[in-house]
Amino acid sequence: MKNNLADLNNHLFAMLEELEDDELDQDTQKLENTLKKARAISSVSSQILKVANVQIQAIKTMENCNLLNKDMPALLAIKDSSTESASRQKLLGGVK
């Protein structure tokens, strides 16, 4: 499994396709297992999106307060400070 939001999106759509499988109507156990898997994926996805939102808010705060990456706690810092500006621009939709 990869670790970015585009990959998460792909996994979610793959799960939707799996849920649309006509064979699930024929096999109650397979349906039950697929539904459990879908619920787990949905739950984890929600948490990933919450974390991403916190990171975006941290970047917006950095931008608004003119903070540098080095001023942020390690958990919220951008991985590579040489790409700090580009990362900010990308996450803020091109707004500086």
Residues 23-82: pLDDT tens digits?
999 999 999 999 999 999 999 999 999 988 988 888 888 888 877 767 676 766 666 545
Q: What is the pLDDT of residue 61?
A: 83
| 62 found inside a domain | yes
| Domain that includes residue 41, residue range | 5-91
User: Does residue 80 fall inside a structural domain?
Assistant: yes
Q: Please indicate, yes or no, if residue 49 is contained in any of the structural domains.
A: yes
Long-range contacts of 53-60 (CB under 8 A, 24+ apart): 55/91, 56/91, 59/87, 59/88, 59/91, 59/92, 60/92
Q: Is residue 60 part of a domain?
A: yes
| Domain assignment of residue 24, yes or no | yes
Using CA atoms, how far apart are residues 81 and 31, in angstroms rounded to an integer?
47
Residue 65 has what pLDDT?
84
If one counts the domains in the chain, the total is 1
Does any domain span residue 40? yes
User: What pLDDT is recorded for position 15?
Assistant: 96
**31 is a domain residue:** yes
Give the C-alpha distances (Å, rounded to integers) separating 16 from 7, 25, 29, 32, 69: 14, 15, 18, 15, 38
Residue 96 included in any domain: no
User: What residue has token string 């649309």?
Assistant: 20
Distance, CA of 70 to CA of 55 (rounded, Å): 15
Q: Can you tell me whether residue 28 is helix, strand or coil?
A: helix
